[in-house]
Amino acid sequence: MEERMPVSLWKGTVQPVLDSKAEEFRQLGYSNTASEDIWKCMMKKVWKNDPAKRLYEVVQDIFHLSSNQYVSYITVEAYQNDDLMASINAVNTHSAEKE
């Protein structure tokens, strides 16, 4: 049976998957998306409290991240940012790039 570990410990192993997902979102028009953005989104929206998972479960979760979940995450992050105007501009940039 494959080992279960806290999701945070799988980060180095799943880096190519994160890169692939970031590239997918860039091709969908979110040109500023980086693999680190995907990781932070997953940790905050999908893997709250750093659950123990098997490698294939972590990969599956990343590939199932939808653009709607990601946009929701960056919007909330923007509003929680101290520099509200810069954050609003970042969200608007993401939205404009998609159109």
Residue ranges per structural domain of the chain: 5-98
Q: Answer whether residue 38 shows pLDDT above 80.
A: yes
pTM of the model: 0.78
Q: Which structure tokens are listed for 20?
A: 């692939």
Long-range contacts, 40-46 (Cβ 8 Å, 24+):
40/73, 41/65, 41/69, 41/70, 41/73, 41/74, 42/7, 43/7, 43/8, 44/73, 45/69, 45/72, 45/73
Predicted confidence (pLDDT) per residue in 56-72, tens digit: 999 999 999 999 999 99
33 touches 26 (CB < 8 A): yes
Confidence of residue 78 (pLDDT cuts 50, 70, 90): confident
Confidence of residue 94 (pLDDT cuts 50, 70, 90): low
Range 35-44 average pLDDT:
96
pLDDT of residue 85: 64
Range 28-55 average pLDDT:
94
